[in-house]
Amino acid sequence: MKKILLFAVLTMATAIMYAGGYRVSLQGNKSLAMGHTGVGVVSSESLFFNPAGMVLSGDKFSVSIGGFGVFSNVAYQNETTGASARTDSPVGTPVYAYISYKATDWLALGLGVYTPYGSTVEYEDDWAGSHLVNNIDLQAIFIQPTVSIKLHDYFSIGGGPIFVSGSVNFNRNLSRTLTDINGNRSEVTIDADGVTATGWTAGLMFSPSEKLNIGFNYRSEIILEADEGTADFENIPNSPLTPFADTNITAELPLPAELTVGLSYKFCDKWMFNFDFNRAFWDVYESLDIDFEDPNIPDSFNARNYKNSSTYRFGLQYEATEMFTLRAGYYFDESPVRDGFFAPETPRNDSNGYTAGLTFNVSDRFQIDASFLYLHFNEVDASYDAYTEDGVAAPFRGTYKSNAFSPGLGLTYKM
């Protein structure tokens, strides 16, 4: 299993951006076009949004695959010093593939592969905040076998286990000032891949009428524990005072539990309105701690102190013609980052997401799904206060302005 997962990670190159910490809410083109709603929607993407909806689909078999290009940018500046920086992050490419098969009227089976977490942020090397991060590349791929059961005309359930394989590569300078004799900044690269973990998801759906679905979905917390990571130190002064030699590391990265409740309501024949409320239990992310195996190297404690956060999602669908279904949406995404813990590796303040998209019905069986997201962040004055040198706090302050664009394309085959 591990080898398969690893292979998948390597070949899919899912380098992604953020959305609520390092959560990337891009798990389906139909759903994203409607503000990434879906807990109360029955669609080819239900496997992720609410497995209980799978069995309610009218299709015997469906495959939905797709991906997104994520263009995310962060700008930083400090008016006191004039320091400024811009990220030059590579294009993120989150992907998904959902297969569902309706075995009987009351039972559907499915398999999903998707990438709901990830973060690739690349600042210029040795920028003003390089003691916190130069670059980070976090990737995780989820594989989810799923079962969906219709218990009653009004009531279905669904769920399944989740197998995760993740990797992280993180580079930062050791301090604000340490250099080798030639002035090259001392830095460390933490690398861990093939980190596996498991979790689960479960959902319910009430369908009290043809027009109304009420959904509920829970995704469990998953802790990625890197036991075989490495730390590579570069540009270290040749001195017993700086005993930084390459070593192994252990570290943990939590992927928080998520609860979603919401509904879809069909009206005026061709219209559908969706509302999802997400609650992400980010308070599990208290600290990013790196334990260096070499006893001469002090362990690294990086307080994060995330708080639970909510996202409010609204979506609208209009079946314009036989060929075209149009969608639009909006969401407000609360940041899990508290004041004073604004770390530049996940520079997240509250954001507003504007989405749109369409499905083109090529034939009865083929659909092309397209979507677009513009994620807007307000300019924010923020600081990370938990950084210390020699026991003295040295807050990293500045003004951040971020944005992200994400066009997506998908294919659905159904029968």
Partner 1 sequence: MKNIYKIIACFVAVGLVSCDPEFENSVEDQGFYDAGDANFTNYVAVGNSLTAGFADSALYITGQEDSYPNIMAEQFSFVGGGEFTQPLMADNLGGLLFNGQQIAQNRFVLAVDAQGNLGPAILEGTPTTEVTTSATGPFNNMGVPGAKSFHLTASGYGNEAGILTGQANPYYARFATGPNANVIEDAASLNPTFFSLWIGNNDILSYATTGGSGVDQTGNLDPTMYGPNDITDPNVFASVYSQQVDALSAGASGGVLINIPDVTSIPFFTTVPAQSVPLDAATAAAVNAQFAQYNSQVLPGLVQLGVITQEEADARMINFQAGINFPIIMDDDLTDVSELLQGPPLNLPADIANLLGQLRQANNNDLVVLTASSVIGTTPDPSNPLGVVGVSIPLEDSLVLTAVEQERVATATASYNATIEALATANGLAYVDARTALAQVAATGVPYNGGLLTSEFVTGGAFSLDGVHPTPRGYAYTANIIINAINETYGASIPTVDIGNFGTVTAANGI
Binding site for partner 1 (CB under 8 A): 69, 71-75, 77-84, 86, 91, 128, 176-179, 181-183, 237-242, 372, 374, 377, 379, 388-390, 392-395, 399, 401-403, 405, 407
| Closer of 69 and 199 to partner 1 (Cβ) | 69
Q: How far is the CB of 410 from partner 1 (least distance, A)?
A: 15
H/E element holding 7? helix 2-12
**Which among 311, 306, 189 has a CA at the least distance from the CA of 253?**
306
Neighbours of 350 (CB within 10 A): 14
Strand partners, 66: 96, 410
| Closer of 160 and 410 to partner 1 (Cβ) | 410
Neighbours of 392 (CB within 10 A): 7
Residue 93 tokens read as 């490419």
| Closer of 90 and 145 to partner 1 (Cβ) | 90
Query: With b meaning 16 or more CB within 10 Å and e meaning fewer, what string describes 299-333?
Result: ebebbbbbeebebebbbbbebeeeeebbbbbbbeb
Q: How far is the CB of 351 from partner 1 (least distance, A)?
A: 12
Residue 225 tokens read as 């524990």
What three-state secondary structure class fits 4? Answer: helix
Distances (CA, A) of 179 to 183, 233, 302, 394: 5, 12, 21, 18
Q: How far is the CB of 95 from partner 1 (least distance, A)?
A: 16
Q: How far is the CB of 77 from partner 1 (least distance, A)?
A: 5
How distant is the alpha carbon of residue 187 from its chain centre?
27
| Closer of 23 and 131 to partner 1 (Cβ) | 131
Q: In this structure, what DSSP letter does residue 153 have?
A: T
Strand partners, 369: 359, 410
What three-state secondary structure class fits 68? Answer: strand
Q: How far is the CB of 98 from partner 1 (least distance, A)?
A: 24
Strand partners, 182: none
Which residue's entry shows tokens 């303040």? 349
| Closer of 179 and 361 to partner 1 (Cβ) | 179
Distances (CA, A) of 82 to 306, 346, 403: 29, 22, 22
CA atoms within 13 A on the CB side of 121: 32
Q: How far is the CB of 266 from partner 1 (least distance, A)?
A: 29
**Which among 263, 370, 357 has a CA at the least distance from the CA of 33?**
357
| Closer of 291 and 385 to partner 1 (Cβ) | 385
Q: How far is the CB of 272 from partner 1 (least distance, A)?
A: 24
| Closer of 221 and 379 to partner 1 (Cβ) | 379
* d(C-alpha 248, C-alpha 262), whole Å: 45
| Closer of 56 and 356 to partner 1 (Cβ) | 356
In this structure, is the dihedral angle defined by the CA atoms of residues 278, 280, 281 and 283, taken in order, positive or negative? negative
Q: How far is the CB of 353 from partner 1 (least distance, A)?
A: 13
Q: How far is the CB of 333 from partner 1 (least distance, A)?
A: 16
Q: How far is the CB of 131 from partner 1 (least distance, A)?
A: 9
Q: How far is the CB of 283 from partner 1 (least distance, A)?
A: 28
| Closer of 259 and 394 to partner 1 (Cβ) | 394
The answer to whether 66 touches 27, Cβ cutoff 8 Å, is no
Q: Compute the radius of gyration of the chain from its Cα atoms.
A: 22
